[in-house]
């Protein structure tokens, strides 16, 4: 999926290894790390920007010489939060900087951008201003890494070129700056579900953990980290749908120098791959998350800095797969030799386009094997079982109340039917039917039907339907339908249920209560509609959008001397609650009602059209038979200041009054001094007339 491009590393002032300062000078490194999945209107919500920022922050704390109190980590950052937090850090650095202390600053951003700047929750921070913010930091060395689409435009500001690599001389006397991008100004960079992050940041972090250490000194310089990430990203994206990413850069350095980014020796634990180990290596933690990925050459030792814990290392070499397990204790550097790797069976897969043929193949480099936690030696072949099958073409299961759970570990490639209480699978490409709960841990391409609930931890391209609840912790492209409750992290499609909850939405919600954190495009239809931010529409008894202020109208009309209207809802479609009082001329009456309208702003003016139904009454606040007033309003207004405006308008009114002799009818019959038509038929009085309103809006 389209997502990212690494944009810029900015270095200004002298560059040298922070790990080896002179005796008279200490080094203090500050880090400002920002992630933002929300790019605002017209931008698909990202999946991994926040996690990329967290991973980069972890590496800088573990290996990059940054202390915890010198790191600022922002997730789901807005443009205002970005500016304010950076300004506070700048003031803090200026106050704490010592004469004999060398200060270095690292800025990292992962999120949306375009050709003009970073996009944080719909607000743009231009590249020119970003360069100025970085250049004014009161430090000796400035580094900025921006991981976002079209960020090559940042390099183009200085006339950068597309080149194959970037080299910095080896001494410590360089002055100037360097801007590095992982894509050109017209390329979209990419993120991967397999690595759960952007390609460039994934390989950059792999390099910083030690994979990029080509000299074997257990330190990774800026040059080494960049070249490793450049080569791996270009190689990995050459076969993707979006095409290869071409790093570019603008270098203006005088003299020579290089900067140590991480020191693997500062990590309290790690894995050392000895010289005989070669091939493609994939290091995963005990949760199966890919931590480091690299090509290991023969006759060179490589040390990877890791936290203490349990790891599985898959080695791909000459078309064969082997696996080693490592339980790394704190303070331990665990060495692995070729003899520590054991053979693992190749994965059984279905060849596309031919459901009747099954082939055995080794996982390619672009899609490495994701090993289960298996013993050191491969077990003897066993007959396939449902609980152990890696990929299941079709499953039909039956279970009663005693058998409360049945699992298919792996993918479900075709249709699956299940009548038990709990079905748990990794990936679904088909249909799941269940009396109880369907649980997919990764991804759904198809449909899910359950009696109680459908649960998914990954993306859905299809339909979820249950009689109880649908819950998805990731993106949905399709439909969620339940009589009771629907939840999705992000939605492109529709939610149909009593209560619908979604974080990011481009689609439609229909229910009694609808809630969305951010409606980029779409519509909410229900009795109660609430959104923290909405660029779409809302229709209901009560609707609220956090980015659209409530407006109070105070006005007079030909019907009541005093009227109020509370306008609520989204930016272009609103609801309004109306009330009025006429205390004069011996005919005391009041009114109350609800309406819907369309708001059309232009320049500092706006044009509103709405329709309402109101009930007119005389003291004591009701009459035996209701008197209805239906009113259409057309308003032209202008906001003089943010919270004060004026408006005038015309109305078209239709009243419906029973022809009775109740006390107080006179106050209802003469509801306006404007000439009107009267039609008396079957003891009913129907009146139609044009009217006016004028007032203020705050």
CA gap 672, 611 in Å, rounded: 19
145 burial (CB, 10 Å; 0-12 / 13-18 / 19+) is: buried
Residue given tokens 């699992």 in the structure block: 407
Closest residue by Cα to residue 497 from 542, 534, 508, 489:
508
Mean pLDDT (whole number) for 604-621: 86
For residues 495 and 465, the answer to whether their CB atoms sit within 8 Å is no
> Is 358's pLDDT higher than 70?
no
CA gap 51, 196 in Å, rounded: 8
Q: Which residues in 499-519 are b (16+ Cβ under 10 Å) and which e?
A: bbbbbbbbbbbebebbbbbbb
Q: pLDDT value at position 188?
A: 55
CA gap 499, 428 in Å, rounded: 26
Closest residue by Cα to residue 593 from 611, 582, 608, 577:
577
> Is 129's pLDDT higher than 50?
yes
Q: For domain 267-377, is the CATH number 2.60.40?
A: yes
Q: pLDDT value at position 385?
A: 36
Query: Among 86-90, 211-215, 590-594, 662-666, whose mean pLDDT is lowest?
Result: 662-666
Length, in residues, of the chain:
698
Average pLDDT over the chain reads 76
The token pair that represents 120 in the structure block: 């944080």
Q: Which residues in 100-115 are b (16+ Cβ under 10 Å) and which e?
A: eebbbbbbbbbbbbbe
CA gap 204, 49 in Å, rounded: 14
CA gap 58, 75 in Å, rounded: 14
pLDDT band at 223 (very low <50, low <70, confident <90, very high): confident
pLDDT band at 440 (very low <50, low <70, confident <90, very high): confident
Closest residue by Cα to residue 565 from 531, 608, 532:
608
361 vs 453, higher pLDDT: 453
Q: pLDDT value at position 691?
A: 94
CA gap 599, 583 in Å, rounded: 31
| Sequence ranges of the domains in the chain | 26-265, 267-377, 391-545, 553-566+576-697
pLDDT band at 205 (very low <50, low <70, confident <90, very high): very high
Cα separation values, 92 from 106, 124, 137, Å: 15, 25, 11
For residues 545 and 580, the answer to whether their CB atoms sit within 8 Å is no
The H or E element containing residue 173 is: none
Q: Domain 26-265 belongs to what topology? A: Rossmann fold (3.40.50)
Q: pLDDT value at position 187?
A: 53
Q: pLDDT value at position 35?
A: 92
> Is 609's pLDDT higher than 50?
yes
> Is 53's pLDDT higher than 90?
yes
| Range ranked top by mean pLDDT from 81-90, 129-138, 180-189, 242-251 | 81-90
> Is 37's pLDDT higher than 70?
yes
Half-sphere exposure of 245 (CA within 13 A, CB side): 34
> Is 145's pLDDT higher than 80?
yes
Mean pLDDT (whole number) for 366-386: 38
pLDDT tens per residue, range 467-503: 999 999 877 889 999 999 999 988 889 999 999 999 8
Q: pLDDT value at position 3?
A: 40
Cα separation values, 551 from 554, 576, 595, Å: 10, 9, 14
Per cent of the chain over pLDDT 90 is: 33
373 burial (CB, 10 Å; 0-12 / 13-18 / 19+) is: exposed
106 Cβ contact partners less than 8 Å away, ≥ 6 residues apart: 29, 30, 31, 32, 33, 60, 64, 66, 143, 144, 145
> Is 269's pLDDT higher than 80?
yes
Reduced 3-state DSSP string for 189-203: CEEECCCCEEHHHHH
CA gap 607, 117 in Å, rounded: 33
For residues 593 and 613, the answer to whether their CB atoms sit within 8 Å is yes
H-helix segments, 454-579: none
CA gap 184, 196 in Å, rounded: 23
- Radius of gyration of the chain from Cα atoms? 33
pLDDT tens per residue, range 379-402: 333 333 333 333 443 444 443 332
The H or E element containing residue 674 is: none
Mean pLDDT (whole number) for 163-167: 30
Q: pLDDT value at position 667?
A: 63
Q: pLDDT value at position 183?
A: 57
> Is 621's pLDDT higher than 60?
no
136 Cβ contact partners less than 8 Å away, ≥ 6 residues apart: 90
Q: pLDDT value at position 386?
A: 33
pLDDT band at 420 (very low <50, low <70, confident <90, very high): low
22 vs 120, higher pLDDT: 120
Q: pLDDT value at position 590?
A: 86
Cis, peptide link before residue 505, omega less than 30° from 0 = no
pLDDT band at 697 (very low <50, low <70, confident <90, very high): very high
pLDDT tens per residue, range 40-50: 877 778 888 89
> Is 568's pLDDT higher than 70?
yes
pTM score of the predicted model = 0.48
For 266, which DSSP code? G
SS3 of 59, please? helix
Residue 183: how many CB atoms within 10 A of its CB? 28
CA gap 338, 385 in Å, rounded: 32
For residues 562 and 556, the answer to whether their CB atoms sit within 8 Å is yes
Half-sphere exposure of 620 (CA within 13 A, CB side): 0
107: β partners: 32, 144
The H or E element containing residue 70 is: strand 66-74
pLDDT tens per residue, range 296-327: 988 888 999 998 899 999 999 888 889 999 99
pLDDT band at 8 (very low <50, low <70, confident <90, very high): very low
As a whole number of Å, the end-to-end CA separation of the chain is 44
pLDDT band at 222 (very low <50, low <70, confident <90, very high): confident
For residues 303 and 270, the answer to whether their CB atoms sit within 8 Å is yes
């Amino acid at each position: 999926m389209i997502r990212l491009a690494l944009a810029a590393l900015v270095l200004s002032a002298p560059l040298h290894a922070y790990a080896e300062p002179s005796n008279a000078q200490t080094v203090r490194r500050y880090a400002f790390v920002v992630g933002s999945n929300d790019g605002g209107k017209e931008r698909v919500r990202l999946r991994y920007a926040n996690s990329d920022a967290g991973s980069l922050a972890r590496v800088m704390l573990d290996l990059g010489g940054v202390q915890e109190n010198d790191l600022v980590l922002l997730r789901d950052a807005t443009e205002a939060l970005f500016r304010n937090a950076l300004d506070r850090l700048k003031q803090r650095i200026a106050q704490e900087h010592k004469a004999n202390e060398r200060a270095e600053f690292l800025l990292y951003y992962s999120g949306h951008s375009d050709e003009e700047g970073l996009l944080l929750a719909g607000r743009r921070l231009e590249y020119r201003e970003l360069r100025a913010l970085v250049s004014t930091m009161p430090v000796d060395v400035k580094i900025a890494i921006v991981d976002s689409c079209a960020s090559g435009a940042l390099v183009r500001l200085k006339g950068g070129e597309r080149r194959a690599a970037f080299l910095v001389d080896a001494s410590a006397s360089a002055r100037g700056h360097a801007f590095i991008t992982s894509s050109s100004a017209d390329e979209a960079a990419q993120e991967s579900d397999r690595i759960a992050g952007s390609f460039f940041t994934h390989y950059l972090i792999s390099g910083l953990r030690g994979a990029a250490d080509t000299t074997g000194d257990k330190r990774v310089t800026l040059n080494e980290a960049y070249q490793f990430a450049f080569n791996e990203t270009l190689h990995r994206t050459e076969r993707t749908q979006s095409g290869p990413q071409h790093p570019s850069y603008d270098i203006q350095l005088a003299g020579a120098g290089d900067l140590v980014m991480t020191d693997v020796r500062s990590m309290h634990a790690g894995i050392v791959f000895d010289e005989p180990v070669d091939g493609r290596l994939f290091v995963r933690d005990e949760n199966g998350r890919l931590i480091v990925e690299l090509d290991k050459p023969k006759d060179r030792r490589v040390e990877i800095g890791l936290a203490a814990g349990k790891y599985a290392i898959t080695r791909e070499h000459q078309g064969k797969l082997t696996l080693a397990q490592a339980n790394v204790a704190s303070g331990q550097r665990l060495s692995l030799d070729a003899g520590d790797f054991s053979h693992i069976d190749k994965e059984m897969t279905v060849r596309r386009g031919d459901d009747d043929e099954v082939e055995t193949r080794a996982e390619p480099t672009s899609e490495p094997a994701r090993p289960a936690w298996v013993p050191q030696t491969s077990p003897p072949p066993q007959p396939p079982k449902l609980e152990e099958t890696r990929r299941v073409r079709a499953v039909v299961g039956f279970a009663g109340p005693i058998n409360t759970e049945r699992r298919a570990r792996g993918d479900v490639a075709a249709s699956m039917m299940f009548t038990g209480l709990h079905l748990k699978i990794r990936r679904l490409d088909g249909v799941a039917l269940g009396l109880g709960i369907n649980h997919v841990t990764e991804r759904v391409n198809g449909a899910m039907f359950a009696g109680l609930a459908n649960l998914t931890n990954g993306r859905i391209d299809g339909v979820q339907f249950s009689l109880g609840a649908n819950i998805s912790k990731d993106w949905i492209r399709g439909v969620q339908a339940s009589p009771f409750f629907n939840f999705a992290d992000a939605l492109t499609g529709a939610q149909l249920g009593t209560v619908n909850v979604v974080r990011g939405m481009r689609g439609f919600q229909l229910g009694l209560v609808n809630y969305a954190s951010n409606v980029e495009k779409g519509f909410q239809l229900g009795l109660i509609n609430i959104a923290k931010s909405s660029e779409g529409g809302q229709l209901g008894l009560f609707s609220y959008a956090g980015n659209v202020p409530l407006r109070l109208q105070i006005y007079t009309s030909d019907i009541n001397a005093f009227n109020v209207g509370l306008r609520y809802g989204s930016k272009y479609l609103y609801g309004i609650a109306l009330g009025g009082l006429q205390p004069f001329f011996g005919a005391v009456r009041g009114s109350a009602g609800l309406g819907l309208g369309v708001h059309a702003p232009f320049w500092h003016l706006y044009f509103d059209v709405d329709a309402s139904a109101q009930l007119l009454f005389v003291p004591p606040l009701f009459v035996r038979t209701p008197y209805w007033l239906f009113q259409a309003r057309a308003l032209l207004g202008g906001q003089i200041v943010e919270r004060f405006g004026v408006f005038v308008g015309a109305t078209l009114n239709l009243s419906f009054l029973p022809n009775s002799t109740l006390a107080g009818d006179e106050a209802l019959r003469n509801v306006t001094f404007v000439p009107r038509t009267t039609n008396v038929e079957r003891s009913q009085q129907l009146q139609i007339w044009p009217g006016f309103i004028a007032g203020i809006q705050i």
